[in-house]
Structure 1
Amino acid sequence: MTDSTPELLSPAGNWDCARAAVAAGADAIFFGLPAFNARLRADNFSNDDLPELMEFLHKHGVKGFVTMNTLIFTSELKAAEAQLHRVAEAGVDALIIQDLGLAKMAREIAPDVELHASTQMTITSPEGLQFVESLFPLERAVLARELSVKEISRFEDARSQTITPLEVFVHGALCVAYSGQCLTSESLGQRSANRGECAQACRMPYELVVDGKTQDMEEVRYLLSPQDLAAVDIIPDLVRAGVKSFKIEGRLKSPEYVAAVTRVYRKALDDAMAQRDSTVTAADRYSLEMTFSRGLTSGWLAGTDHPYLTHGRFGKKRGPLLGTITHCGGTWIELDAPLAELDPPLKAGDGVVFDAGENRDLEQGARIWKIEGKRIVFHRTYSGINFERIRPGNTLYKTSDPSLESEIRKFWQNAKLTPKKTPLHVKVTGQPGAPLVISSGHASCSSESPLQPASKHPLGTETLTKQLSRLGDTRYELASLDNQLEGDCHIAISALNRLRRELIAQLDSDLAPQERPITTTEVRLDDLLPQPSTIADSASSSPRLSVLCRTLEQVDAALAEQIHVIYCDFEDPRRYKEAVAAVRSSAAPSSTVHLATPRILKPGETGYLKLIERAEPDGLLLRNLASLQYYKDRSDLVKTADFSLNIANPITASLLKEAATLDTLTVSYDLNISQVLDLLSQAPTDWFELTLHQHMPLFHMEHCVFCTFMSEGTSYKDCGRPCEEHVVHLRDRVGQLHRLHADVGCRNTLFNGKAQTGARFHDALRKTGLKKFRVELLDEDAATTRLTLSSYQALLDGTASANELLDEVAALEKLGVTEGTLA
């Protein structure tokens, strides 16, 4: 595969998946080790497996990429450093990395290993990629899965600013939240998605509560569970858009899934590169659906169509829809679709599930016992079905096809994995009276006897090719022959064969195994760490309370409380001018106003940043890589990096502070109190601000619940904007209400209904020298805002204890208070 040839990248959670991927035609696989990977529930490879795995892959011409795509905490940097050495020594081809600090370490410590920016780095625009490229060179950028083909092509249009080859997911499960921006598992259960511990809260049922009233949604309960991605028909468009690598999701899947999906996309990618009509068959599509799907869609690649992506009827695996039950009795059912017309045919042993629109944890499924004419018959005892619950009108899905699974299993298990041959380019020279010389690269062999003049059959290209291509079980195959013989020459075939063997022996000698040099540098972890604060630094100045407001009413209340730093995060940034004017004209002359950028900026959306500039704030709350790039030279503005930039260790902190000329860094919301204290002990504490009080942003999504379930539209163009007219909450399985907001880009954020407070940890934080603390408001009115701010100000001033504050805040918060991620 040349640099210009697109790459097919397959997942592997274990040895069987790796073999299946190689058998099915993958150009590379990606896999995790026991630590620092975003699929800790996958089998994963052990550190001891690594050398053997890489030898196996390289023997078959396949690359191996290790995922280190989690945030790295301060206490883990030493272990991460050791893993970087380990993967380099094993010959790993690339590292897929989320954490910017870890990426910096990898570039400095193991420069010979390619560096791929994970999709969890949340690269959504050329400007964001440009900023990462300013930090360190990349060999690959894995783009966010929420981008359309049209938006991906904007990266290719921006090649004068960016140079990194692009990778795009083309098949598999979709996260409803932007990767790297989901705090749901962390907030609700201390299982961070940024640490490989996602609890899949998006796949759970929710109720829609509009203006305080629970909506009757009938069978629609899975409001945040997208269908799976299948871009098999969009591969040619992605090739034209400049995509380098085509990635299949599925490190938690079976080898049969890996084999089936890889071989279909191998075919689709080969078709696209040959510019021929697709050879993907109906049977291929069936295999994609049967090996695993929750329903297959083109995701966001074809553009925005919210109901198409997330219909809300189920969150579990579904295969093809077989039909609707028209009659049933005893142990049999009949469908509205003729069984004889089903392709592939339904047969005994196939698995099905009955969809009665009920709780999916209660739905029934079984294997077919036999087919009798129009009837599908189940075993009365062994099926486990309660036949009294089966009704006409229920739909039937096919969930399992044992014969297909057997065929795929035989395919990858019995595949003859032929080692990749090294292409041999041979040059032949000589003339009568001189020796015959054959050479390839630096290897060269000469015949013992000179060439003789040919009387009848001169030595020609055909004979040379026939004899020199007889390479048998060697690692070589003849790729080209340059015949430069002069005159009509003759030599015995046995002598020619002897020369071929000598040339191969010489080439093998040049490639004799030697101890592999360690491709790491002398750079050590300590060389990359910033200088922490001194005791004298920590003792100076008083603490400062800032507040994030989402309404003008909250801004006025914050001004009344004399809050010095007021962040504004409005759904409509056109109202930022009003907020700036309110602060400037207030009776609180020391108050300053800082405007928040959107969490996500897609190609062509930097206009929002220009709108913020025109409001002329005192400072900025920067939430994405593109905004860091856009404002990095604005030294006249106070710049704060927000939590969404995932600052979890001192190397990331130092890197961002310097590259984006930042004044303040918000501590990552993934850190608990001990991890926060570790971070503050290893970097200057005056760099940081910590959010003491907030409603944790759980999901941040391109998916719009308002459009999908409260309108007849498909996008902001025709939805009628119900988000502007209604207050919406989602109720989870335990009865907790969570507030839903839309932002200027129509992206939705679901906020934890319970407020999180770090009041109990305030004293420990102050002892580190930390001085900047934030309160983030959600939907509080003016009175609640003032009481909340005055309570936290009293805590910081030392006039109230943590217990007193907790009592006051608990009384103000309608849905309760938690210590959440900090605990």
Structure 2
Amino acid sequence: MPEFNARGRTTDHSFEQLEEIIQLCHLYGVKVHVAFNIVIFQDELARAIELLQKLLPLGPDALIVQDLGLVRVIKEMAPWQEIHASTQMTITNELAIELTKDLQIERYVLGRENSLSEIKTIKENTDKEIEVFVHGALCVAYSGQCFTSESIGGRSANRGQCAQSCRFEYDLIVDDKKVDLIDQKYLVSPQDLCGINEIESLKELGVDSLKVEGRLKSPNFVASVASSYRKAIDKSKFTKEDIEQMAISYSRGFFPGWLHGVNHQELVDSTFGSNRGLKIGQVQEVRKSSIVIASDKDLSNGDGLLFASTNREKKLELGSMIYDIKSLKNRRFEIFLAKDFKTQSVQAGFNVYQTSSPSLTKELTKSFNDREKLLRREISISLDAKVGEKLQLTASIDKQEVTVQSESELEVAKNDINLDNIRKELCALSSTPFKCQTPIINISENSPFIANKVLKNLRQRAVKELSEKILKHDLGEVLSAKLPDLSESFNQRESKIRPLLRELSQLEGLIPLLNSNPNIKNKIEFIILDYEFGKDYKESLELLKSAGIESAIATNRILKPNEYHHLKVLTRLAPDYVLVRNLGALQFFKENASNLKLIGDFSLNVTNSITADYLYSKGLMTLTPSYDLNRDQLLSMVKHSQRKDFEVTIHQYMPSFHMEHCVYAAFLSNGKSFKDCGKPCEKHKVELHDSFGNKHFIKADSECRNTMYNAVAISAPTLLKDCLEIGVSRFRIEALHEESSVIFDKLKTFCKLLENELSPSEVNLHLGLHENYGLSQGQIFKEDTYVDRKKS
């Protein structure tokens, strides 16, 4: 989608080009899905509607959408338009699909973390189409739930501006000490997804569509992957060579991702983070001006090679192109490289990877450049030739049919008709998207004279009219969409703070402090509990009840099929509120605990008032806006919302990565999952130390998913005053690993701000004393213009 898509590092095409793309594809019977897959800010809604009015008449087969509010807008403008839920909508369970049924979304692109068994459960419990990722770059964080680019670099992954922070180098810090992992630096950089061996299983599960992650990849990558997966889908035997070709086109190493469940020992290789191509062998000997390698793969001049050291303490990678090659005995080759290549830097034992192949490139390029290899659609052609009547040609494909006639009637031929020449002329379709193997020719007994020029003209006219008929789409009228009006009225409520705690010990220490300071205690509406271990909730609720403080418990960020135990426990515990973090959990409570008071969290990605209104209609009492919003965007959304029941986070360590990958299990155990990892998360404190000098805390949830929290605390006391002026009166302060006394001091400081006893600058000055890396305003006061990255 021009201007609004998750490809923030590319150049957008124009609507004229998009129309050309759609028409070309439709001629060939290929569907076009337009990705409108980012969250939309309030002040962008008018522009989004303006662009939709240009897009919808072009007849895209589907729009892939992340923003719930945008789905409502599109359906209002064009009820007939098919919509697919983007993977950024974080749909990982059947309950989320049920909740959003009223949006009339036809297909859901599941989160990449769903296993085959989970996909099976989802498919069995919905009548909606399901799409699954099978190949390409694998994000370590859940799509739609990654705020790392936002928190580290001010660039939102939910806005197509991913900084690929998962590909950075990190040191592992365990219990405040650096762990020497030697060559393991890329601790959250997964291998690429390759699910080609799982295609038959996915077909058996009834999956409707397979998706390839191909952002910023070459046409050769597309050609290689499309060819290989086409073979797998059609049950023709794909070969080892097909997989090798895909690896040479682009690979960080292949792995089936989460299709077989978690495997924390293999998902992340951790020794590299970029394209390496195909591993083909090892260095056997280094000579003065050549290198001898052992390989089962035949190599040629021009092939690109990468030599990577296996010495874990001295990492080295060198690349070059083969200028000459000699075959030796026992699958050994003497390789001669570019003159400036430092041959002596390579050592015996280095791994060898093939990164390019001119012969492969030539073959792949043919698949989309060679006219003989281009797709041709079979059409039916029939010719009726009778003396005294006009020559008539009918062409059809699927349900489309056209008939054309000559201007004058046919006369009797003086010579015999050459049927072969007629067939040849009718089948002369090489410059068109069509082909015809066996045209039907009906000729009267008294052979008519058919001029070759007339026949050619009829064929060309028929192809032109058939093409126009294929491209003609009878769409409904594109209606106007009503933008939300400003809603200035609100009921002034007393401002309250909602602290969020992550450990039982924090609560145990905080309650006595609050009991001895009733003024601060009265400013607490309730305390949110977000614990790693559910066993601590019961005791915590009892402590809060005895102190006369209301409670809330947070759900997990992600909900998968058969993970309802956590939600059932919350239902039995019956806290005063539940902080809902995913759409599936919202549906679960609507079905099973309608008496619970529900509030929505930032992970629901609310960035405009239409999305907010939709989620309020689902029973949420308050909503925490997305952390993608800066000050102006947040205030604009609130001003345009009929309800002002927002809870704004004014102090926190921003949650960055939220991932299925467990750093604890991967690097502090040999376990593949929670079943055999020994639960190091219960014994150790883990941080990731980035190249900027910051240590980001890693915390696991009750399903062993990890969240990385940004090292620098974000505080926005000036935002509190802005929000109060427009009717927002609920504010969250999140703790991470602080002692109770520090948490209490933060609460006391913000209470003084609410009572005008401290200024925002005095608040920041005081709070900064508690932080190792000082304070940041984070995304709150940055200026976000979507197209900036594309222009730079």
- TM-score range normalised by the length of the shorter chain: 0.7 to 0.9
1:712 lines up with 2:641 in the alignment: no
Q: Name which of 34, 49, 52 aligns with 1:81.
A: 49
Distance 2:39 2:208 in 1: 26
Q: Is the 8 A contact 1:356 1:363 kept in 2?
A: no
CA drift of 1:410 comes to: 2.8
Q: Which amino acid in 2 is paired with 1:569?
A: D
Structure-2 residue corresponding to 1:237:
201
Q: In the alignment, does 2:324 pair up with 1:370?
A: yes
The offset of 1:470, in angstroms, is 5.4
Aligned residue for 1:145? 112
Change (3 A) 1:669 1:401: same
2:766 counterpart of 1:805: no
Selected match of 1:62 from 30, 43, 58? 30
CA contact (8 A) 2:290 2:337 kept: no
1:350 aligned residue: 304
Query: Match for residue 198 of structure 1?
Result: 162
| CA–CA separation in structure 2 for the residues paired with 1:551 and 1:585 | 18
Q: In the alignment, what sits opposite 1:459?
A: none
Counterpart in the other structure of 1:19: none
SS at match of 1:774: strand
2: CA distance, partners of 1:500 / 1:318: 53
Of residues 41, 65, 81, the one that matches 1:97 is 65
In the alignment, which residue of structure 1 is the partner of 2:246? 288
Query: In structure 1, what is the equivalent of residue 628 of structure 2?
Result: 670
Q: Following the alignment from structure 1 to structure 2, what is the Cα–Cα distance between the partners of residues 512 and 712?
A: 62
Amino acid at match of 2:502: R
Name 1:643's counterpart in structure 2: 602
Which of 532, 543, 546 is the equivalent residue of 2:495?
A: 543
What secondary structure is seen at the aligned counterpart in 1 of 2:732? strand
Question: Post-superposition shift, 1:379?
Answer: 4.6
CA displacement at 1:382 relative to structure 2: 2.6
> What is the CA-CA distance between 1:639 and the residue it aligns to?
1.2
Q: 1:375–1:286: structure 2 CA closer, same or farther, 3 Å change rule?
A: closer
Tell me if the contact between 2:402 and 2:465 (Cα under 8 Å) persists in the aligned partners: no
Distance 1:509-1:219 versus aligned 2 partners, 3 A rule: closer
CA distance in 1, matches of 2:325, 2:468: 62
Counterpart-to-counterpart distance in 1, 2:83 and 2:444: 54
Matched pairs, number = 744
Question: Match for 2:504: what amino acid?
Answer: L
Deviation of the 1:82 alpha carbon? 1.4
Contact kept? 2:486, 2:639, Cα under 8 Å: no
Give, in angstroms, the shift of residue 345 of structure 1.
Answer: 2.9
Q: Which residue in 2 is equivalent to 1:400? A: 356
Partner amino acid for 1:584? K
Deviation readout 1:276-296 (Å, 9 max, x if unpaired): xx5112221111110000001
Deviation at 1:327, TM superposition (A): 3.0
Q: Write the letter of the residue equivalent to 1:524.
A: A
1:133 is the counterpart of 2:112: no
CA RMSD of aligned residues (A): 3.6
**Equivalent pair of 1:685/1:770 in contact (CA under 8 Å):** no
Q: Whole-Å Cα distance in 2 between the matches of residues 787 and 87 of structure 1? A: 53
The equivalent position to 2:527 in structure 1, one of 551, 554, 566, is 566
Tell me by how many angstroms 1:425 deviates: 10
SS of the equivalent of 1:663 reads strand
Structure 1 residue 645: deviation in Å?
0.4
Length-normalised TM-score, structure 2 = 0.86
Equivalents in 2 of 1:153, 1:202: separation in Å? 29
Structure 1 residues 113-512: aligned runs within 5 Å: 113-134=81-102, 136-158=103-125, 162-271=126-235, 278-335=236-293, 337=294, 339=295, 342-345=296-299, 347-356=301-310, 363-372=317-326, 373=328, 374=332, 376-379=334-337, 381-383=339-341, 385=342, 387=344, 389-416=345-372, 421=377, 473=429, 494=448
Report the alpha carbon displacement of residue 482 of structure 1 after superposing the two structures with TM. 13
- The amino acid across from 1:715 in the alignment is S
* Match 1:524 to one of 481, 484, 498: 481
Once residues 294 and 506 of structure 1 are traced to their aligned partners in structure 2, the CA distance between those partners, rounded to angstroms, is 49
Cα drift, residue 531 of structure 1 = 6.1
Task: Check conservation: 1:88, 1:112, Cα contact below 8 A.
Answer: no
Contact 1:59 1:420 in 2 (8 A): no
In 2, distance between residues paired with 1:208 and 1:79? 45
Moved more, 717-726 or 406-415: 406-415
1:234 counterpart SS class: helix
Is the 2:8–2:160 Cα contact (8 Å) retained in structure 1?
A: yes
> Does the aligned pair in 2 maintain the 1:468–1:500 contact within 8 Å?
no
Distance in 2 between the 1:343 and 1:139 partners?
A: 45
Q: How does 1:585-734 map to 2 (within 5 A)?
A: 585-586=546-547, 589=548, 591-632=549-590, 634-658=593-617, 660-684=618-642, 686-734=644-692
Distance change (3 Å), C-alpha of 1:118 and 1:439: closer
* Conserved 8 A contact 1:689-1:770: yes
User: Cα distance 1:152–1:518, how it changes in 2: closer, same or farther (>3 A)?
Assistant: closer
* Paired position in structure 2 for 1:533: 488
Q: 1:324: how far off? A: 3.3
Runs of 5+ unmatched residues, structure 1:
1-31, 272-277, 429-435, 448-462
SS of 1:113's partner is coil
In structure 1, what is the Cα distance between the partners aligned to 2:578 and 2:587?
13
Q: Secondary structure at the match of 1:680?
A: helix
C-alpha separation in 2, matches of 1:78 and 1:40: 20
Return the offset for 1:751: 0.6
Identity among equivalent pairs (%): 36
SS of 2:272's equivalent?
Answer: coil
Which residue of structure 1 aligns with residue 506 of structure 2?
554
Q: Which amino acid aligns with 1:126?
A: E
- How many angstroms apart in 2 are the aligned matches of 1:321 and 1:507? 48
Gaps of 5+ in 2: 385-391, 407-418, 515-520, 782-792
1: CA distance, partners of 2:372 / 2:758: 73
Q: Which residue of 2 aligns with 1:109?
A: 77
Bigger mean CA offset, 304-313 vs 69-78: 304-313
Q: Is the 8 A contact 2:367 2:373 kept in 1?
A: no
Task: Decide whether the 8 Å contact of 2:381 with 2:394 is kept in 1.
Answer: no
- Greater shift, 710-719 or 322-331, is seen at 322-331
How far apart in 1 are the matches of 2:313 and 2:746? 40
Equivalent residue, structure 2, for 1:748: 706
- Aligned equivalents of 1:369 and 1:290: distance in 2? 19
Residue type of the alignment partner of 1:40: G
**Alpha-carbon distance, 1:422 to partner:** 7.3
Cα shift at 1:165? 0.5
**Aligned residue type for 1:72:** I
The alignment partner of 1:525 has SS state of: coil
Q: Distance in 1 between matches of 2:315 and 2:365?
A: 29
- Residue identity matched to 1:532: S
Query: TM (normalized to structure 1)?
Result: 0.83
The superposition leaves residues 463-504 of structure 1 with CA deviations (integer Å, 9 ceiling, x where unpaired) of 9xx999957649888899999x9xxx9865659999999999
Q: Is the CA contact (8 Å cut-off) linking 1:425 and 1:479 kept in structure 2?
A: no
Moved more, 765-774 or 597-606: 765-774
- More off after superposition, 509-518 vs 633-642: 509-518
